[in-house]
Structure 1
Amino acid sequence: MYRTAAHSAGSPAAPAPAGTVAVAARATELSKVYGRGETQVTALDRVSVEFRRGEFTAIMGPSGSGKSTLMHCMAGLDSISSGSTRIGDVELAALGDKQLTQLRRDRIGFVFQAFNLLPTLTALENITLPLDIAGRRPDREWLERVVSTVGLSGRLAHRPSQLSGGQQQRVAVARALTAKPEIVFADEPTGNLDSRSGAELLGFLRESVRAMEQTVVMVTHDPVAASYADRVVFLADGRIVDEMRRPTADAVLDRMKAFDAKGRTS
């Protein structure tokens, strides 16, 4: 188990009063379709969702439910078929390639499931690469805190080939956080970590939300990881089918079991 402290039971999400919370990212009637004709697959089907500033959201659902596709579309890493995606007040579809690249570099952090590290660079160089490209210097105190939290202090001079899968994942997480982006999208960030390292990483993401009003959106299959979030959004067949606030691992697991049971009987 990642978390040992007691926390409140999960409950259905309730909308915040209008105008009280800023929205970091929003999808409206978002659809994503791959292929044509008989090979056409609808990955996302008219999804509308908001991710509030200073909130930690977990996205869960069965394999193939559209979790990673939703994150890629909302981060501007994949095009959409119809609908709208916004980061703050910026409509992504209205941006050219150069503008979109700059927005992703300056305002979005992304933790890829496949790491996406450059093999010729050291761990430290991979971590600071987005800032280097932007011509910005990292906040040394924050960089040291991030590196220490993800357990890379003794590995900064190593290249990806000299690191384990879990260590490469930590480099990817550190890279996403070092630039202090407005919103961090994380695709299974604890997938290659042991339980202790996973707990430390999730605790750090939780603290970045609390202390810095960071916005974190995380895809996960793990109910314990999801219990660190303020809210869990459940997807199935490309649609949002439920939400939960103040989640616990047990409440999330029960909800997932209910979805599985419904899928077998439908």
Structure 2
Amino acid sequence: MRHAASSPAATPSTRGAGSRSVAAAVGLCKVYGEGETRVAALDDVSVQFGRGEFTAIMGPSGSGKSTLMHCMAGLDDFSSGSVRIGETELGGLDDRHLTRIRREKLGFIFQAFNLLPTLTALENILLPLQLAGRTADQDWLDTVVASVGLADRLQHRPSQLSGGQQQRVACARALASRPEIVFADEPTGNLDSRSGSEVLSFLAASVRELGQTVVMVTHDPVAASYAGRVVFLADGRIVDELHQPTADAVLARMKRFGTDQPA
């Protein structure tokens, strides 16, 4: 990995944390360019995500919300600070070890479903496990498939599924390996409101009933209201938190950051 790691100088906020920290950042900075072109996408961010917690990350366009998720998930390097997944410090890990962390400890859901069109739903769900050389825990797989309501769609290919069903396949794929934490980047961005509600309800249920930890980047106050905690970023810094949010309360907080329509 090409970033520098520094020893934590402070303890990240524990407000809203679950039984213990699954992922944490301390003094996290991400800088692009130098001199007059220097931009701090993340500026001394400290945050942690507790086990069994559903956190939404929100902020205006360019606030650093996706950058934070990508750095914490080992998808992007960072300039300074510390990122931990469990007890593992990501700073200084090479690409091979980062790939292992992502495969063994993390799940990912993106706005684009990223399903392979030639594979069935079940084959798409099992693909990350196969790439990692692991065998699925059948009881857990059955629980996940039942939770997303896909039992009668497992032999269908993506082209035979609706957008909402495809995203539920992507959700099942993310959970199939029983990851420490699932990172979701605008998971309902390509869905209509009904399909989006189904996906968000599943993510909330996975936290509530399966003990999953979910961190979701979103621009949508309604989507954020499914989380138990919302972390707000502006100009690369955490500026606020909201617990047990409603859509109206989230929108009111967003208006403080100079935008009526969060992006």
- Give runs of aligned pairs for residues 93-172 of structure 1, distance below 5 A: 93-160=91-158, 163-172=161-170
CA distance, structure 2, for counterparts of residue 162 and residue 69 of structure 1 = 34
Aligned residues: 249
Quick one: which amino acid aligns to residue 15 of structure 1?
R
Alpha-carbon distance between aligned partners in 1 of 2:27 and 2:205, rounded to the nearest angstrom: 32
CA distance in 2, matches of 1:261, 1:151: 37
Match of 1:77 in 2: 75
The equivalent of 1:25 in structure 2 is 23
Distance, in Å, in 1 between the alignment partners of 2:147 and 2:192 is: 14
Q: What SS is found at the alignment partner of 1:83?
A: strand
Q: 2 CA distance for matches of 1:159 and 1:247?
A: 37
Q: Over the residues paired in the alignment, what is the CA RMSD in angstroms?
A: 2.6
Letter in 2 for 1:53: R
What corresponds to 1:15 in structure 2? 15
Q: Deviations over 1:245-266 (max 9, x none)?
A: 111111111111222269xxxx
**Equivalent of 1:197 in 177, 195, 213:** 195
In the alignment, residue 178 of structure 2 is paired with which amino acid?
Answer: K
2:174 match: 176
| Aligned-partner residue type, residue 169 of structure 1 | Q
What residue identity is the alignment partner of 2:213? Answer: T
Partner residue, 2:6: none
Q: Which whole-Å CA distance do the structure 2 matches of 1:259 and 1:109 have between them? A: 31
Contact 1:123-1:156 within 8 A present in 2 as well? yes
Give the secondary-structure state (helix, strand or coil) at the position aligned to 2:167. Answer: helix
C-alpha distance 16-251 of structure 1, shift in aligned 2 (>3 A)? closer
User: Aligned pair in 2 of structure 1 residues 35, 165: CA closer, same or farther (>3 Å)?
Assistant: farther
Gaps of 5+ in 1: 1-12
The aligned amino acid for 1:24 is V
> TM-score, length-normalised on structure 2?
0.84
Gap change, CA 1:116 and 1:234, over 3 Å in 2: same
2:58–2:232: 8 Å Cα contact kept in structure 1? yes
Higher share of residues assigned helix:
1
Partners in 1 of 2:223 and 2:76 — Cα distance? 26
Bigger drift between 62-71 and 207-216 goes to 207-216
How far apart, CA to CA, are the structure 1 residues paired with 2:14 and 2:91?
A: 29
The 1-side partners of 2:123 and 2:100 are apart by 20
Question: Which of 143-152 and 71-80 deviates more?
Answer: 143-152
Partner deviation per Cα, 1:200-225 (whole Å, 9 max, x = no partner): 22222222212232111011112122
Structure 1 Cα separation of the partners of residues 77 and 14 of structure 2: 30
1:28-107 pair list within 5 angstroms: 28-107=26-105
Distance 1:88 1:157, change over 3 A: same
Q: Which residue of 2 aligns with 1:222?
A: 220
Alignment CA distance shift 1:103-1:261 (3 Å) = closer
Question: What is the alpha-carbon distance in structure 1 between the residues aligned to residue 238 and residue 44 of structure 2?
Answer: 9
Higher relative contact order (CA 8 A, sep 6+): 1
**Mapped contact 1:149–1:200 kept (Cα < 8 A):** no
> After the TM superposition, which of the residue ranges 203-212 and 174-183 deviates more from structure 2?
203-212
After superposition, give the CA deviation of every residue in 1:132-164 in whole Å (9 maximum; x if it has no partner). Answer: 122222233433443344454454344445555
AA of the residue aligned to 2:15? P
Give the TM-score normalised by structure 1. 0.83
